[in-house]
């Protein structure tokens, strides 16, 4: 039996995992888009072999050594996110994509031409989105069937998580002459309409302090210490309405609220080598970001009946919820980046990055009890190493104007055979730069797209039964408008 199905049916009350439909939700904080400045964004983020851009040091800190002057840069941007499963849902946000400073200290002689120190902030992820998912009418199963199957084998005083909530709200009840076998309030063949509305808010950002050295204008090496921050809120409301005249149940809702905040640290090292004047080669390694996070979770069920479901109790509306707060540690994957760039006559640039992201190396651990020890085994079995590509170009029209374009591809982190194995993220970008000497400004437009496949529930019982909703496909569309302002001094 597929291990993913088994884990999805475990029903563990772990807010991080319940918050985004399956245990692979921890990958949410590992798929990064560190575009930052408008110039880097317009060129698809392909700056690993170029350097000389503040946001590029988050990709290859060796690029810090490329700067030949001190510089300040700030990049505000507007983000417009659209999702479509049934109807289009839109959100918008204003963010600071990049802000930082680099200080240049040149040397008068020797092979060391200079040393640079940089401090920069870049927005790695924007989580603002609304998603309406409609599963239609299901005559084969209900989420209640899953909760009943999870409850089987446990007496009422041993029930946990959603199974306990379902029992307390009378969606499941003990079978006659049994103290550990449960039945649903629905009858076989009852038709239920299924829907879920998801709201996500928050961001993920990184502050880095970097040092880079220039050797003979041919070899640039650097390192950085990074501190990432996460602020994330998730609210899911799942609804089922009964479309049968024979059932005493009218409808129910299942709400999950999850909030997490915290910070983590990482190290990056990188180098750029220029063997000839027109060619640059880059290499960088990123350690995992080691996070310490705090979480709040609220899980609740509210049920509505046509007639009272409980003996000697007149209520037709029942609700129950549980809350929890806890700390946990999250480790993102290792990253390895190789880059190449052609720079011709200071007028034309063609640059490309290849990034290997080792998603199976991610991990999640409870701070006190080690309750998530199974996560590593799960990730090793259900994720794969992803291959990311970025390519960008720039053409300098004259001393004032430069035109840019780029493309980026992020491979799906899910293992082959997973229903989300084609969850690739692609982006197209374009932009322009205006150079006024010591002052410059850049503009960029970015369009990202991906398709997400999901199920409201999918549960195999021990005797081989499968309770599953219909497949839900959600199309994600994102547009960004960025504008950078920079001063060299």
pLDDT, tens only, 397-446: 999 999 999 999 999 998 888 888 889 999 999 999 999 999 999 999 99
Phi/psi at 57 (5° precision):
-70, -15
Q: Does residue 394 form part of some domain?
A: no
Query: What's the gap between Cα 461 and its chain centre?
Result: 30
| Torsional sign, CA 475, 36, 402, 486 | positive
Q: Which has more pLDDT, 275 or 460?
A: 275
Q: Which has more pLDDT, 451 or 110?
A: 451
Any residues with CB less than 8 A from the CB of 311 and at least 6 apart, and which? Answer: none
For residues 338-362, give the mean pLDDT: 96
Under 8 Å between Cβ of 265 and 285: no
Q: How many domains does the chain have?
A: 1
Under 8 Å between Cβ of 59 and 37: no
Q: How many CA atoms lie less than 13 Å away from 128 in the CB half-sphere? A: 14
Give strand pairing partners of 471: 455
Under 8 Å between Cβ of 227 and 245: no
pLDDT of residue 112: 86
Confidence of residue 34 (pLDDT cuts 50, 70, 90): low
> Can you tell me the distance from the alpha carbon of 361 to that of 372, in angstroms, rounded to the nearest whole number?
15
What separation in angstroms does the CA of 240 have from each of 135, 214, 256, 393? 10, 63, 15, 50
Any residues with CB less than 8 A from the CB of 394 and at least 6 apart, and which? Answer: 39, 43, 348, 349, 402, 403, 404, 433
Mean per-residue pLDDT of the chain: 90
Confidence of residue 235 (pLDDT cuts 50, 70, 90): very high
Question: For residues 38, 352, 221 and 223, what is the CA-based torsion angle, rounded to 10 degrees?
Answer: 60
From the CB of residue 487, how many other CB atoms can be counted at a distance below 10 Å?
14
Q: Does residue 126 form part of some domain?
A: yes
pLDDT of residue 327 exceeding 50: yes
Q: How many CA atoms lie less than 13 Å away from 14 in the CB half-sphere? A: 26
From the CB of residue 188, how many other CB atoms can be counted at a distance below 10 Å?
7
Q: How far apart are the first and last CA of the chain?
A: 63
Confidence of residue 108 (pLDDT cuts 50, 70, 90): confident
> Can you tell me the distance from the alpha carbon of 458 to that of 175, in angstroms, rounded to the nearest whole number?
24
For residues 134-144, give the mean pLDDT: 94
From the CB of residue 124, how many other CB atoms can be counted at a distance below 10 Å?
22
Q: Does residue 197 form part of some domain?
A: yes
pLDDT of residue 311: 83
Q: Does residue 336 form part of some domain?
A: yes
> Can you tell me the distance from the alpha carbon of 42 to that of 36, in angstroms, rounded to the nearest whole number?
10
Domain that holds residue 142: 3-388+442-488
| Torsional sign, CA 284, 287, 292, 293 | positive
Nearest CA among 328, 343, 363 for reference residue 43: 343
> Can you tell me the distance from the alpha carbon of 393 to that of 354, in angstroms, rounded to the nearest whole number?
15
pLDDT of residue 381: 82
> Can you tell me the distance from the alpha carbon of 203 to that of 393, in angstroms, rounded to the nearest whole number?
29
Q: Which helix (H) or strand (E) holds 353?
A: strand 348-358
pLDDT of residue 8 exceeding 60: no
Q: Which helix (H) or strand (E) holds 57?
A: none
Confidence of residue 182 (pLDDT cuts 50, 70, 90): very high
Confidence of residue 21 (pLDDT cuts 50, 70, 90): very low
Q: Does residue 398 form part of some domain?
A: no
Any residues with CB less than 8 A from the CB of 36 and at least 6 apart, and which? Answer: 53, 54, 55, 56, 58, 75, 97, 98, 120, 122, 123
Q: Does residue 369 form part of some domain?
A: yes
What one-character DSSP code corresponds to residue 383?
B
Confidence of residue 489 (pLDDT cuts 50, 70, 90): very high
Confidence of residue 366 (pLDDT cuts 50, 70, 90): confident
Query: DSSP readout, 271-336?
Result: EEEEEETTEEEEEEEEPPPEEEEEEEEEEEEEEEESS--STT---SEEEEEEEEEEEEEEEPPEEE
Confidence of residue 371 (pLDDT cuts 50, 70, 90): low
Q: Does residue 421 form part of some domain?
A: no
What separation in angstroms does the CA of 262 have from each of 255, 282, 403? 24, 32, 39
Nearest CA among 365, 367, 356, 366 for reference residue 333: 356
Greatest mean pLDDT among 12-21, 30-39, 238-247, 415-424 lies in 238-247
| Residues recorded for the chain | 489
Domain holding 161: CATH number?
2.40.160
Phi/psi at 122 (5° precision):
-140, 140
Under 8 Å between Cβ of 396 and 347: yes
Confidence of residue 378 (pLDDT cuts 50, 70, 90): confident
Q: Does residue 41 form part of some domain?
A: yes
For residues 9-13, give the mean pLDDT: 33
Q: Which has more pLDDT, 454 or 231?
A: 231
From the CB of residue 2, how many other CB atoms can be counted at a distance below 10 Å?
13
Query: DSSP readout, 198-231?
Result: EEEEEEEEEEEEEEEEEETTTEEEEEEEEEEEEE
Nearest CA among 446, 489, 486, 454 for reference residue 470: 454
Provide, rounded to the nearest whole percent, the portion of the chain with pLDDT above 70.
Answer: 93
Confidence of residue 6 (pLDDT cuts 50, 70, 90): very low
Q: What is the pLDDT of residues 409-419, one digit of tens each?
A: 999 998 888 88
pLDDT of residue 119 exceeding 50: yes
Helix intervals (H) in 108-170: 143-151, 161-168
Q: What share of the chain is helix, strand, coil (3-state, %, to 5)?
A: 15, 55, 30
């Amino acid at each position: 039996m597929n291990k993913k199905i088994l884990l999805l049916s475990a029903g563990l009350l772990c807010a991080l995992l319940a918050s985004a439909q399956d245990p692979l939700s921890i990958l949410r904080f590992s798929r990064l888009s560190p575009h930052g400045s408008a110039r880097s964004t317009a060129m698809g983020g392909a700056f690993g072999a170029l350097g000389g851009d503040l946001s590029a040091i988050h990709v290859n800190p060796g690029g810090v050594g490329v700067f030949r002057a001190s510089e300040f840069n700030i990049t505000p941007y507007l983000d417009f996110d659209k999702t479509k499963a049934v109807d289009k849902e839109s959100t918008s946000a204003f963010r600071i994509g990049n802000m930082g400073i680099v200080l240049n200290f040149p040397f008068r002689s020797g092979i060391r031409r200079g040393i640079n120190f940089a401090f920069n902030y870049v927005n790695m992820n924007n989580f603002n989105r609304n998603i309406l998912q409609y599963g239609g009418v299901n005559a084969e199963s209900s989420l209640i069937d899953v909760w009943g199957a999870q409850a089987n084998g446990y007496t009422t005083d041993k029930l946990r998580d959603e199974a306990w909530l379902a029992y307390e709200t009378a969606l499941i009840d003990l079978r006659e002459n049994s103290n550990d076998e449960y039945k649903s309030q629905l009858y076989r063949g009852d038709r239920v309409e299924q829907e879920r509305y998801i709201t996500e808010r928050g961001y993920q950002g990184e502050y880095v302090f970097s040092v880079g050295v220039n050797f003979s204008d041919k070899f640039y090496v650097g390192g950085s210490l990074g501190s990432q921050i996460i602020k994330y809120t998730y609210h899911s409301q799942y609804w089922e309405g009964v479309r049968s005249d024979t059932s005493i149940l009218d409808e129910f809702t299942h709400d999950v609220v999850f909030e997490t905040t915290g910070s983590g640290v990482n190290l990056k090292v990188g180098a750029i080598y220029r063997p000839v004047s027109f060619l640059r080669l880059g290499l960088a390694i990123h350690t995992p970001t080691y996070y310490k996070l705090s979480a709040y979770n609220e899980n609740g069920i509210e049920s509505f009946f046509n007639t009272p479901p409980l003996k000697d109790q007149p209520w037709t509306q029942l609700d129950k919820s549980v809350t929890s707060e806890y700390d946990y540690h999250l480790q993102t994957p290792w990253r390895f980046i190789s880059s190449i760039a052609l720079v011709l006559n200071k007028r034309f640039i063609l640059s490309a990055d290849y990034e290997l992201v080792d998603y199976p190396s991610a991990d999640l651990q409870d701070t006190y009890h080690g309750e998530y020890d199974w996560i590593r085994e799960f990730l090793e079995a259900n994720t794969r190493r992803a291959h990311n590509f970025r390519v960008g170009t720039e053409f300098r029209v004259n001393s004032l104007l430069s035109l840019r374009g780029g493309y980026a591809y992020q491979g799906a982190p899910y293992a082959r055979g997973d229903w989300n194995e084609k969850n690739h993220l692609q982006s197209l970008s374009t932009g322009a730069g205006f150079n006024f000497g010591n002052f410059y400004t850049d503009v960029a437009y970015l369009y990202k797209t991906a398709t997400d496949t999901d199920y409201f529930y999918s549960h195999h019982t021990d005797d081989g039964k499968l309770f599953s909703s219909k497949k839900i496909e959600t199309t994600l569309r994102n547009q960004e408008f960025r504008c950078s302002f920079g001063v060299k001094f």
